[in-house]
Structure 1
Amino acid sequence: MRNILITSVLQNLLFCIPKAALLHGKSVGFALQKSRFRNAKAQLSLFKRIIFTELSRKARTFLLRGCLKEYL
């Protein structure tokens, strides 16, 4: 009985330590993936606004002047 208990405890330790490390690695991977998705989603909404909205003539002139000032 004692040998079975010791064997069970050792098996549990040998299983739990690598399992904890593996689960931590998976959590980090999913967190990184979620972060990348969130960043891409934010940029997509910005690009949608830039591409699909119609700018007034005044706004286009203002944007062009701002771009020209940066490059001069």
Structure 2
Amino acid sequence: MNALQNLLFCVPKAAVLHGKSVGFASQNSRFRNAKAQLSLFNRIIFTKLNQKAFTAPLTLC
């Protein structure tokens, strides 16, 4: 009876675990996409800031 219980439990357990792993995979994918976009955003912002710093007029007092 114990083997039958294990068999009956393992099938739904495998389906649930597969669903969880798919959920985590999509969550990780969204995190990587957001991280890449943030990196690109920071690169654009800091590049523009650096360009403005180099192109600012030099004033002598």
1:30 equivalent to 2:19? Answer: no
Tell me which of 46, 50, 55 is aligned to 2:51.
55
Match of 2:15 in 1: 21
> Take 2:45 and 2:37, find their aligned partners in 1: how far apart are those partners?
12
Structure 1 unaligned regions, length at least 5: 1-6, 58-72
TM-score w.r.t. the length of structure 1 is 0.64
Aligned residues: 51
Pick from 31, 42, 46 the counterpart of residue 36 of structure 2. Answer: 42
Deviating above 6 A after TM superposition, structure 1's stretches of 4 or more consecutive aligned residues are none
The structural deviation recorded for 1:51 is 1.4
**CA RMSD after TM alignment:** 1.4
Deviation (angstroms), 1:9 = 1.6
State the identity as a percent.
76
Give the Cα separation in 1 of the matches to 2:51 and 2:25.
37
Q: Could you tell me how far apart the structure 2 residues matched to 1:50 and 1:13 are?
A: 56
Structure 2: any 5+ residue segments left out of the alignment? 56-61
Work out which of the two has the higher radius of gyration on C-alpha atoms and give 1 or 2: 1
Q: TM-score, normalised by structure 2?
A: 0.74
